[in-house]
Structures are given as structure tokens and as C-alpha cells.
Amino acid sequence: MAIAVTPEGLRAWFAKARITPDMLRKVHDLGPTGLITADMFRRTYQASSSATLALNGNQSEVIVYDHDTVTTDLRQAGAGAHDAEPAWLLASDQATTAVRASTEDWLPFIFISPLAWRMRRTMRSHGGFELAARPTVTPDDTLVDTYIHADAPDLRITLAMPAFTDGAVECEATILDRHKAPAGGASGHLCHGCGAEEAAAGLRDMVKDIAAEEA
């Protein structure tokens, strides 16, 4: 059976898949790097840390849920880390329904550029960053990834760049403090042979400096 790469086709493809209470517990326990992905080949959802994602341009794996959203769902369902199973079941049902309703939002991530994947890998290898939220693609085709650094867990770094352009592009980073207010930023040009390593390392140093000032 072949998958139809449309919102309706994805909903049909994942019709039997569920987000379970155990997945929510795992994301809850992992903290900000906890994510749920949709596996296009296995037609299942999986909970894991973003640190375990290969970031190798795998178009069959799409991030569909993140820690902040899970936290909100648990709060709305009245579920805490040690609450009764019915509350976790309610939260998992709500999460499954929300993910099924958002399949239109999955589509851009099947087609994002190799350069965008390279920047994700470089943010990890040269900056020590890990993804900390479900990515978004804006109406003007800008990919926005959100990162966290282990040395600055209260800060978030958003990185915006064209989602589908594989040539030289402009990339803009914003560092957000614990109140989600801008605390710093940078912008510059990226291409396959330039800019990525310097940008990741520079952002790492900026984040550490800001964290030290806020300590």
C-alpha cells in the first residue's frame, strides 16, 4: 500500500496509530528535548529525545509533538507525573486527536532542503545544541527550529532560514531568555560550504555568555 502525501492521505495512513500514556510520560520525563515523531514507514508514533535523532535528512520521520505541548495537555487533563491512569489516557486521546488534525502541517517537513538538515547537524556538532520544540514552517516558507543548550537550559534559540532553498541563504537566530523575551541574536549567510560551523559556534558562545549574566 502506498502513502498519499496529502493531509487526507497521512490521516488515513496513521488512522490506527495512537499516542499512548507511556509516550507522554517519556516526553514529560525527558524534559525540553522530549519529542514525539511520526514514522512514515512503520505508521507509528515514537517518543524520544531529540538528541537521539539522526538529523540525516530522513524524510520519513516528522516531529509532530513536543514537551511544551505535552505539558499543556497534561495540565488540561489534570494529569501529573504520578496521577491516576485515566487522566493520562485522556491526555493521550487529546494528543492523538490533535496530531491527526495537524497532518497538513507535516507536509513541509517531508521536503525541507538538504541545507536545512545540514544546519541542524552543525548546530549539534559545532554548537552542542539540540532541538527543543516542534519545528514550524511559516506561510512565507521560512523554517523555524528551536534549540536548547545543556549549559543554558533556561534559554531557547530560534533559528530561521528558508525551508526549501538549497543555495546560499540568509539565516537569523534569536536567543530568548527564561521569560521568552529576546536576549540576543545574530544573522548571516549560509551555504553548503560556508557559514554553518561559524554560526553554530558563535551562538554557543553567545548563549553561554547570556546564561552567565543571568545566573
Instruction: Output 20-27 pairs: Cβ under 8 A, ≥24 positions apart.
Output: 20/92, 21/85, 21/88, 21/89, 21/91, 21/92, 22/47, 23/47, 23/92, 24/70, 24/73, 24/74, 24/88, 24/91, 24/92, 24/95, 25/81, 25/88, 27/65, 27/66, 27/67, 27/70
Question: In degrees rounded to 5, what are phi and psi of residue 146?
Answer: -115, 130
User: Model confidence over 95-134: pLDDT tens digits?
Assistant: 999 999 999 999 899 899 999 999 999 999 999 999 999 9
Q: How confident is the model at residue 1 (pLDDT cuts 50, 70, 90)?
A: low
User: Model confidence over 174-193: pLDDT tens digits?
Assistant: 999 988 899 999 998 887 77
pTM higher than 0.75, yes or no?
A: yes
Question: Does the pLDDT of residue 82 top 60, yes or no?
Answer: no
Name residue 89's amino acid: L
Nearest to 45 by CA among 98, 87, 2: 98
User: Model confidence over 142-167: pLDDT tens digits?
Assistant: 999 999 999 999 999 999 999 999 88
Cα-to-chain-centroid distance, residue 73: 17
Q: How confident is the model at residue 83 (pLDDT cuts 50, 70, 90)?
A: low
Q: How many residues does the chain have?
A: 215
